[in-house]
Structure 1
């Protein structure tokens, strides 16, 4: 078997944000807030919950895989072809939170998904920061 066929790539975005982890957690887990910076969703912070994200370009199916409130959130992210996992990690730091988003599972034959995620996640995080500045 060819090992290169099973190797996958990841997209990693880390950002220090001047807001406490609790506020960021709310924006990552409350559907009305998620819709403001990412996409419309029926997300619920419950392991095993199946949900979707939808936008003008289409939709993606997801399932909550892991939750440690205020610290870690992980869910599958995929469609008929892409099988990936998005993991959010929040680490308190002086003056705010280090937010880490990693999406794993891009196969070598999926350059469009990979490059789309590399371009998209920084824009989503910019929008997230704008939402964080507005909420209490």
Structure 2
């Protein structure tokens, strides 16, 4: 069963975190906190805002597509020919928050980018959990 040229795949990571949505939201939207777990950036939580994520290996071009405080955040993620969309979904649970991240838009010929994203996001999530444990 071969994938069609138009078919795309997603990287999805879901974690249950012992923090309220408001706290996780801050880590997802405050530039100095984003820099601690993801990359240096000039993010603003405004619809349509264009921003960059910068790392040693290069930069990611992004634009805010959707924003609903403490609930959902979505932005484009373009780098090295990859045109994708990252969507964060925060769902309150009894003692914390179910955090879901989906990066959608990997083409069948972007196996390396897909593999890199899968391992990269695991690392970013680990960093995020450390930042959340440290901030009030």
TM range (shorter): over 0.9
3-state SS of 2:47 partner: coil
3-state SS of 1:124 partner: helix
| Aligned pairs for 1:1-136 within 5 A | 4-136=4-136
Q: Deviations over 1:1-40 (max 9, x none)?
A: xx70000000000000000000000000000000000000
Q: CA deviation at 1:80?
A: 4.7
- Structure 2 unaligned segments of length 5 or more: list them: none
3-state SS of 2:63 partner: strand
Aligned length: 135
Q: CA deviation at 1:113?
A: 0.7
Give RMSD over aligned pairs: 1.2
- Structure 1 unaligned segments of length 5 or more: list them: none
Could you tell me the TM-score, scaled by structure 1's length? 0.97
Runs of 4+ in 1 over 3 A off after TM superposition: none
Query: CA separation in 1, counterparts of 2:9 and 2:66?
Result: 21
Query: CA separation in 1, counterparts of 2:68 and 2:19?
Result: 19
